[in-house]
Amino acid sequence: MTGAASGIGLAVAKLFASSGASVALVDLYAQKASEAAQSIAPAQDACVCSVACDVSNAESVEKAFAEILQALGGAPEILVNCAGIAHVGSLATTTPEALDQLYAVNVRGTYLMMRAALGPMLAQGRGVIVNMASIAATAGIPDRFAYSMTKGAVRSMTLSVARDYISQGIRCNCISPARVHTPFVDGFLTKNYPGHEAEKMKELAAAQPIGRMGTPEEVAQLALYLCSEQASFITGNDYVIDGGFMNVR
């Protein structure tokens, strides 16, 4: 699981471990990843480890996969890409530097992780990949120019991988959440709206037709299903989890 030290990635790691999977928490921040791994109680015969990795760097990804193979005692059968960064800005206000940074993590990082996992999955004739996209990939969201671009790319890569490797035992799907209450949201409000966090939190919740933000645990449940044998007939799909944002407004 990438981006596994907090938010959706951590929720996915906890749920998978409690369901009996051996899990490697991959994250840029080594200390946070280690602490997160130590907080997870794996099911019997499962193991949990942490691996530091800059997903935008090919050498770092290669090194991380070598560590994962050693720690888990074999090739991973599942990859869940949750690592990503957000950005607020329109075309006019998005700098080339910001665009490059978003691309490096959200697009290149997803590509590098999938590419590293592909070889072992092909060798064993099976594998499941779940990428974290966003409703921003298909909906016009104000001031999300660069972020929307990257999540559209994640969605497109997902469909391409699903098509190219369907006959070789590999399934690939993506999840597109609407607004999810993660530590990033809390940090964003504290930084940009000091003293008005509660008021802004209500506004963010009200933007979802269902009246609240999603939780990381709800997204994790969908990821677990898509990676399970119960979903063995599912590939090449973008699963929206949005509290009605796309169709019930």
In this structure, are residues 12 and 48 in contact, taking their beta carbons and an 8 Å threshold? no
In this structure, are residues 193 and 187 in contact, taking their beta carbons and an 8 Å threshold? no
Torsion sign (Cα): 69, 73, 75, 76: negative
**Can you read off the two tokens belonging to residue 225?**
């299903």
Q: How far apart are CA 46 and CA 51, in angstroms?
A: 16
Catalytic residue among 29, 103, 111, 147: 147
**Measured between alpha carbons, how far is residue 58 from residues 64, 72, 84, 114 in Å?**
10, 21, 16, 11
Q: How far apart are CA 48 and CA 76, in angstroms?
A: 13
Q: How far apart are CA 7 and CA 86, in angstroms?
A: 13
What is the side-by-side strand order in the sheet with 238-241? Answer: 78-81, 127-132, 170-177, 238-241
What are the residues facing 177 on neighbouring strands? 241
Say how far residue 102 (Cα) sits from the centre of its chain: 14
Count of CA atoms in the C-beta half-sphere (13 A) of 38: 6
Q: How far apart are CA 143 and CA 40, in angstroms?
A: 36
In the residue annotation, 111 being an active-site residue is answered as: no
Which residues are part of the catalytic machinery?
A: 147
